[in-house]
Structure 1
Amino acid sequence: MRNIPPSTFAVLTAASVLVGAGAQAADRRADLARIVDAVAVPLMAKNNIPGMAIAVTVGGKRYIYNYGVASKADGRKVTDATLFEIGSVSKTFTATLAGYAHASGDLSFAESPAKYLPEFAGSRLAEATMLDLGTYTAGGLPLQFPDDVTDHKGMVSYYKSWKPAYAPGTHRAYSNPSIGLFGYAAAKAMGWPFDDLMQQKLFPALGLSHTFISVPKADNDNYAYGYSKAGKAIRVSPGVLDSEAYGVKMTASDMLRFVEANMDGSDLDTTMQSAIAATHTGYYKVGGMTQGLGWEMYQYPTTLDQLLAGNSADMTLKANEIEKLSPPRPPVNNALLNKTGSTNGFGAYVAFVPSKRIGIALFANKNYPNGERVKAAYRILATLDDDLPTPNAD
């Protein structure tokens, strides 16, 4: 990242006034705006990001900061209504839906996928559990489907012939086909198509009115264009289990509502509260990261190095041996939960700390390195809580 002047970091350090007693609301907003600007402007310049929204929640107060354009072709600005593709952050919604099915008694994490998808009876996949699918430990399913898997028939054939590289429940191999099938099976258990469950049941139950799997025509003008490395305007292409693994489009404001529901869901019905608790439950550890359903968690306070390691290419592209937590670790407030997400034209990162009531979402219409996202978010969070050391610029 381009060096930020020392005077800017003096502002960041001084930003403890944001949470100090007696600070005025106008001062908070002005200070936070300066902090976010100091991070966002060089981040966008370095990574050639056309447009960005940075959303922050602090003690129940929401702040949205919009930068650049949603479309370079017509110069349309990023606004509070702009819809971004959030890529694999979608997995946290898929996990919440499966948690809801579990809490409702429609689904058991301990069962084989074949209970809900009988076409897989007798296959090697049937030796895994639903929890294995939801936590990427079914035995080494790949990051993406092979190129020749393009429809439902091909998907079924692929899973039926798949041969695991590891015993179920022993290695984490981050995988769209793994959690994608988890969501697909959960929807089958609930008796509805996945997209309908998300758009007609889950999103409304969470109070998300600008969150979609399929963007309706009425909102199409708010749907940003993403941009490839070559600067070409693109949006996500259809794919097998795309809705389940990376299909959500939403506003930054709606993401803050979801983050706040994850930090304090007391106004939700008890089944939804149980669903969210399931996503915050720790099932195993890999290094400093504890795997939940969708969310990835760290003991708080955590260091920037730990977050960078947990969001590294080694965690995404390699199979890692796990340390299983038996019994699973119940949700704890004193943790940082996070998730990255990308499509070819978009990059997202979300992190929050329930015990501190702070959270952040970074949405961009460019896929840029995970490490850059984590560093930017950490710098902002460090100004909101003295328990996190303000990192040096690099």
Structure 2
Amino acid sequence: MKRMWLALGLSFATACAAADASLLPQRVDEAARQYIQAGEYPVLVIGVVDGDRSAVYAYGKLDNGQKPAGDTAFEIGSITKTFTATLLAQQVTEGKLQLDTPVASLLPGFTIPSRDGKQITLGNLASQNSGLPRLPGNLRVAGGKDPYADYDADKLKAFLASYTLPRDPGASYEYSNLGVGLLGYALGVHAGTDYAKLLQEQLLKPLGMTHSTADLDAAIRAGLARGHDSAGQTTPNWHIGVLGGAGAIVSTADDMLRYLKANMGVVKTPLYPAMELAQKPAAAGPKASARLGLVWMIHHINGGDLIEHGGMTGGFASYVGFTADRRHGVVVLTNRALEVGELGQAVLQPEAPLTPPHKQVAMSTKQLDEYAGGYVLHPGFVLTVFRKDDQLMAQATGQSAFPVFPEAKDEFFANSSDISLSFTRDDHGKVSGMVLHQHGDYPAPRLASGSLPTSEGKTVELDATTLSSYAGHYQLSPKAVVTIAARDGQAFIQLTGQPEFPIYASARDKFFLRVVDAKVDFERDAQGKVNALVIHQNNTDHRAPRVAE
């Protein structure tokens, strides 16, 4: 479970129907109160279905001081994908489309990648085995907080035309926001409308979900809870646009209970055959114990399967799931980008674990700097710890950086996953190593070079014209693009799916980072135009040619 560090006040809980108080297991109620009290989440809203009974339980306080309730709106993130799958299944059950229909047939004018004559089908997109990457390589994070805001149909079309599939469609599972977003877009085009309108007419309106929408201009967004990122800071809402089928829906616990009951068959609707089709195991999942329906994850557990899906945006997290016998269901919503799946599973499984809450302690930047350095987990795999402003960060070789928070001297925890770090010291009290705790204990000695640079390093000032010559996209790998931007006399670097960081010039065409021990050199062609960059990190060079704009 992801963890929080900022306490936001005393907890309280309200059940929308006191007579149904027994629907929420006592241990889940106690855990929710503890998480709020410890500042793990600003609010939690849990909707429970037990047979023909249901209730909503709300904890915490919104930013405006009000209590959350069943009609409080949240971004539900990737749970949107289950709605998109239902739209597809509806077309299939009505005989209008087939799962083996090539997506290219729905998008005239698009060039959809194929491999060895095998085309990407609608079923491939919904089963997460299309061969498309998690995100398109030409997705540029807008301001670092709203990643899809400026991504439109033209950019989607351009990326698909340039992408080469690394394997045959259907060959293996790979979670893809791009794939399900493309599915939603294609279904909208096929219906002669857009995804938001199709969703409204075919699902939300028939189910009576009057406080749910994928329309960014809808008035319901005025009642949306304020979102918080994984570090507890307020963050803008996401505007997903052309890839809305992957995560654009805003909804409430009351509305999500309507959706949950319809999927469980507690309330019979004309959509139930399509929902059953979407829940039918049909493809390999991310691990041996999981299968995939159309988007829905089916996890095999002791006592019966769980049908479930989670969601997360920059400031919200969500979970929806139900038991395969269709007797028990749950939806969990929060306005913080910290996973809530563990809470949801604990409602459905008496034996499911519930991690105790962490509590952060204060540390000065001088204290945090004691831990900065590289720690060797095994040859070629280093966990780099560095300070960014007043936040300690950790980054493993080839992976994204994530924040870590102190809960005691030499003890840190991570929000990003079930990770904690214990630092060790030598006889002189200097930090000499670390133990990574994640499904085991992994000692890692500190590199002899000690702390990584934070503010040292001589810089030179480059003129605006020179800085702007570096701005653009550079193809690091089929799935990763390096974006260079220049704003207000400062250059920035960003890798697909990672945060944006400033880079500093030590000479013309030569830059370095301060948050990690890495350098970036730019190459020029015979005409003097920048045509590639090379990233130097961990004694390895990674070259990325510039992408034609």
Bin for the TM-score computed over the shorter chain: 0.7 to 0.9
Distance in 2 (CA, whole Å) between partners of 1:84 and 1:242 is: 19
What amino acid maps onto 1:377 in structure 2?
G
- Structure 1 partner of 2:436: none
Letter in 2 for 1:105: G
CA contact (8 A) 2:124 2:169 kept: yes
Aligned CA distance change for structure 1 residues 240 and 144 (closer, same or farther; 3 Å) = farther
- After superposition, the Cα gap between the structure-2 partners of 1:280 and 1:30, relative to the gap in structure 1 and judged at 3 Å, is closer
- 2:307 pairs with 306, 331, 337, which one? 337
What corresponds to 2:194 in structure 1?
A: 193
2:277 is aligned to 278
**RMSD across aligned positions (CA):** 2.7
Structure that is richer in strand per residue: 2
Give the equivalent residue in structure 1 for 2:328: 358
Q: Which amino acid aligns with 2:272?
A: Q
Question: Relative to structure 1, is the Cα distance of residues 157 and 252 closer, same or farther in structure 2, using a 3 angstrom cutoff?
Answer: same
Contact 1:140 1:171 in 2 (8 A): no
Give SS of 1:168's match.
coil
Change (3 A) 1:77 1:235: farther
Letter in 2 for 1:103: T
- Distance change (3 Å), C-alpha of 1:276 and 1:122: closer
Give the 3 Å change call, closer, same or farther, for CA 28–210 of structure 1 in structure 2: closer
Contact 2:28/2:346 (8 A) holds in 1: no
Cα 1:199–1:145 shift into 2, 3 Å: farther
| Shift in CA distance, 188/36, structure 1 to aligned 2, threshold 3 Å | same
Give 1:120 shift.
Answer: 3.0
**Which structure 2 residue ranges, 5 or more long, are not aligned?**
3-16, 141-149, 357-549
Q: Is 1:212 matched with 2:182?
A: no
Q: Give TM-score scaled by structure 1 length.
A: 0.76
Q: Any idea what the Cα deviations from partners look like across 1:312-364, whole Å, max 9, x if unmatched?
A: xxxxxxxxxxxxxxxxxxxxxx5310101000000101110141510111100
Tell me what 1:262 maps to: 263
**Structure 1 residues 340 and 238: CA distance shift in structure 2, 3 A:** same
Partner of 1:249: 250
What is the alpha-carbon distance in structure 1 between the residues aligned to residue 266 and residue 109 of structure 2?
37
- Percentage identity across aligned positions? 27
**Aligned match of 1:375:** 342
Question: Partners of 1:380 and 1:45 in 2: how far apart?
Answer: 20
How many equivalent residue pairs?
A: 329
CA contact (8 A) 2:75 2:249 kept: yes
1:42 to 34, 41, 44: 34
CA–CA separation in structure 1 for the residues paired with 2:99 and 2:107 = 14
Equivalent of 1:84 in 57, 74, 84: 74
Q: 2:85 aligns with which of 90, 95, 98?
A: 95
CA contact (8 A) 1:345 1:365 kept: yes
Amino acid at match of 1:114: A
> Cα offset for 1:191?
2.4
For residues 56-97 of structure 1, give each alpha carbon's deviation from its aligned partner in whole angstroms, at most 9, with x where no partner exists.
110121111111223x2x213212210010000110011111
Name the counterpart of 1:314: none
Distance in 2 separating the partners of 1:223 and 1:175:
26
- Asked if the contact 1:43/1:376 (under 8 Å) is kept, the reply is no
Distance of 1:206 and 1:112 partners within structure 2 = 29
User: C-alpha distance in 2, partners of 1:265/1:44?
Assistant: 31
- Aligned mates of 2:236, 2:43 — CA distance in 1: 14
Aligned structure 1 segments of 4 or more residues deviating by more than 6 angstroms: none
Report the alpha carbon displacement of residue 217 of structure 1 after superposing the two structures with TM. Answer: 5.9
Whole-angstrom distance in 1 between the partners of 2:335 and 2:262 = 25
1:133-183 per-position Cα deviation (integer Å, ceiling 9, x unaligned): 111211142345533472211110101111111111111111111011111
Q: Which residue of 2 aligns with 1:163?
A: 164
Choose which of 60, 69, 75 in structure 2 pairs with 1:68: 60
The amino acid that maps onto 1:94 is T
> In 1, distance between residues paired with 2:136 and 2:337?
17
Q: Residues 87 and 227 from structure 1, CA distance in 2 versus in 1: closer, same or farther, beyond 3 angstroms?
A: same
Q: For 1:67, what is the secondary structure of its paired residue?
A: strand
Letter in 2 for 1:133: L
137-146 or 58-67: which moved more? 137-146
When normalised by structure 2's length, the TM-score is 0.55
Higher alpha-carbon Rg: 2
Q: Which of 1 and 2 has higher RCO (CA within 8 Å, sep 6+)?
A: 1
Query: Is 1:138 the counterpart of 2:137 in the alignment?
Result: no
Change (3 A) 1:81 1:171: same
CA-CA distance at 1:43 after TM superposition? 2.9
Q: Does structure 2 conserve the Cα–Cα contact (< 8 Å) formed by 1:144 and 1:175?
A: no
Mapped contact 1:33–1:65 kept (Cα < 8 A) = no
Q: Give, in whole Å, the separation in 2 of the partners of 1:119 and 1:265.
A: 43
CA shift in 2, pair 1:124/1:240, >3 Å: farther
Q: Is the 8 A contact 1:49 1:366 kept in 2?
A: yes
Distance 1:220 1:142 in 2: 27
**More deviation in 253-262 or 231-240?**
231-240
CA contact (8 A) 1:39 1:380 kept: no
Residue matched to 1:29 = 21
The answer for the alignment partner of 1:152 in structure 2 is 153
Q: Secondary structure at the match of 2:294?
A: coil
1:106 and 1:190 in contact (8 A); partners too? no
Deviation at 1:122, TM superposition (A): 6.9
Per-residue deviation, 1:230: 4.1
SS in 2 for 1:88: helix
The AA in structure 2 aligned to 1:335 is D
CA contact (8 A) 1:341 1:347 kept: yes
Cα 1:66–1:28 change in 2 (3 A) is closer
